[in-house]
Amino acid sequence: MPMLDPGAKLQAMVDGYLKGNIDDGEDGVGWLHAQSPRMLVDIDGRRRSWWAPRSSELLECLRVSPQAPAAVKAAALFLAGADGNGRTRQAALQRMDALAGRLTLSSALLRCNDWVPEVRVVAQQVVEVLLSRCSIDDVLAAWPLAVRLQDAQRVDADWRRDTLEGWLSAPSQRAVLGGLLVHRDSLTRLSAHAIAFDVHPERVAIRARALRDSDPRIARMAFQDLLDEGDPSQVVEQCSIALTAPSSQVRASALRTLVAHEVEGIDVFVEDALFDRARAVRSLAAFLVRQRHATPAIELWRSALAQQTAGRWRVALEALADHAVAEDVALLRSLYPRVTARHRRNCVRGWIRAEGGAGLALLRVALEEPGRSIHELLTHAQADWVAELDAPRLLAFCHDGPSPVAQTGLLRLLPHVPLWQHLELLLDAVPQRQDERAWHLRLVENWLRVSEGYSPLSAARRQALLTRLEHGGHDLSNAMAQRLAEAVRQA
């Protein structure tokens, strides 16, 4: 077998150390360079917990491979820097300052939280050197690991604050700070904004962008900075921007602030907020409408629904479901067959709120909807339908309109009727038609499935039930009557 040149041997050694992470024949060096900071942390932890005896073979191979590609050497140094032997980690760090790049900077940042003090000291020195030598792209790629040090237990907090954050705060690093403000990692953006609000000359513009950041922590930080540091004109201008922020908390805070400043057009802002996608913002707007003695919010929601106002009626339906009263039942019932399943759920939710529970009329409509969403609403609503469901209505459920879907839904809900009241209802039912008999049998079998659950039963009621079952006060076969009687006796 031909001898491998030192560079190829180093590449093979890196691939060997990454076995289990990469497929056979895959380029381990390229794979390692492509990993995210979070994955590098995971690789570092697994490498340090490796059971095999530690050695400095990677470093020795590096020593005899000066012509190996820089990417291969950086990968080898990263793996050596994650070794379980502190001396090996320290020796790897001491070689990294000559090989500036994302992977070596990431390794040095990880070692700043090393459990060996001597390794931490060397890592800090290497980080300082690499920051001065790495490209902006390499720093941006590795910086999430610097942010991770904020919560690290062993890192020197003073060094992190004075050196890392101090370096990033310098005017010469505006390009790096600017890149971190739009970094894909939200925690990295959050950390960068905290620094930018203190030192960046374009604070106002940065704040305006941050108010619309997808991470609510950043948006809230920006809004607080606006309140603390913005002049009155900036507050009004940027609060108007914040009304469309992704964060509902920021939108609500902006609305409160604009109302407090009594800005021109505030009534329009408040009315628009009544149709916000977030319940908290809508509730705030409804309160402000009452406070300002304007048209009640519920009337505006009804109007948007009645007119099917584009861009508003869907939110209006959700809002009305939160605040519906008895007079809204007719509107909600008329909307139900004309909207999608998602919005039918809001129709049912509002109907339940308006009536204070789920009546039989609602039940017959809502049970036609397949899926669990509406059934969960019915399950948790006050079951007013129980008082309305008598034996004739129960039997007619199989032929006077409800579909098989609704019948199955009713079978799932009937166990919510008190157990012995449920049985008495079944005994009162006298089927007159063949389809009613088949349906009645399903109802009885359904009761038997839940009859083992505990439900208090007085001696008098027990005797009355047994008397009916044993003396034919029902329309059941003898075998079924015996099964029900046995269930009563065992209760």
Instruction: Tell me the pLDDT tens digit for each residue of 19-56.
Output: 888 888 889 999 999 999 999 999 998 887 765 555 57
Residues in the chain, total = 491
- CA nearest neighbour of 457 among 418, 408, 413: 418
Q: What pLDDT is recorded for position 1?
A: 39
Tell me the mean pLDDT per 10 residues along the chain, length 491: 66 87 86 94 84 68 86 94 90 94 96 95 97 96 96 92 95 96 96 96 95 96 95 93 96 96 92 96 96 92 92 94 95 92 92 93 89 86 89 89 89 90 91 90 92 87 90 80 90 79
Per the structure, the count of domains in the chain is 2
Q: Is residue 485 part of a domain?
A: yes
In contact, 304 and 313? CB cutoff 8 Å? yes
Q: Is residue 68 part of a domain?
A: yes
Which residues pair with residue 269 across a beta bridge? none
Which residues pair with residue 19 across a beta bridge? 22
Q: Is residue 226 part of a domain?
A: no
Q: Which residues contact 98 (CB under 8 A, 6 or more apart)?
A: none
Q: Is residue 54 part of a domain?
A: yes
Q: What pLDDT is recorded for position 470?
A: 85
Q: Is residue 117 part of a domain?
A: yes
- 284: burial class by Cβ within 10 Å (0-12, 13-18, 19+)? buried
Q: What pLDDT is recorded for position 390?
A: 92
Q: CA-to-CA distance for 491 and 476, rounded, in angstroms?
A: 20
Give CA separation, 160 vs 89, 96, 107, 127, in Å: 20, 20, 16, 11
Domain end (from 109, 137, 169): 169
Q: CA-to-CA distance for 254 and 266, rounded, in angstroms?
A: 11
- Residue 475's CB is within 10 A of a number of other CB atoms, namely 17
Q: What pLDDT is recorded for position 374?
A: 87
Q: Which residues contact 408 (CB under 8 A, 6 or more apart)?
A: none
Domain end (from 149, 169, 189): 169
Q: Is residue 224 part of a domain?
A: no
Tokens of 192: 């960068």
- What are the phi and psi torsion angles at 272 (to 5°)? -60, -40
- CA nearest neighbour of 102 among 58, 44, 143: 143
Model pTM? 0.81
Residue 472 C-alpha from the chain's centroid: 57
Cα dihedral 155, 159, 165, 168, rounded to 10, equals: -110
State the distance between the two ends of the chain, measured CA to CA, in whole angstroms. 82
Please compute, for residue 77, the number of CA atoms within 13 A of its CA located in the half-sphere on the CB side.
34
Q: CA-to-CA distance for 353 and 329, rounded, in angstroms?
A: 9
**Helix (H) or strand (E) run with residue 10 in it:** helix 6-17
Q: What pLDDT is recorded for position 52?
A: 52
Domain end (from 103, 135, 169): 169
Q: CA-to-CA distance for 51 and 344, rounded, in angstroms?
A: 58
Tokens of 247: 């964060």
Q: Is residue 261 part of a domain?
A: no
Which residues pair with residue 22 across a beta bridge? 19
Which value, in Å, is the radius of gyration of the alpha carbons in the chain? Answer: 35
| Domain of residue 459, residue span | 418-491
Q: CA-to-CA distance for 72 and 66, rounded, in angstroms?
A: 11
Q: What pLDDT is recorded for position 477?
A: 85
Q: Is residue 151 part of a domain?
A: yes
> Hunting for tokens 């009804």 — which residue is that?
302
Instruction: Tell me the pLDDT tens digit for each residue of 298-310.
Output: 999 999 999 988 8
Q: CA-to-CA distance for 89 and 211, rounded, in angstroms?
A: 43
Q: CA-to-CA distance for 123 and 97, rounded, in angstroms?
A: 10
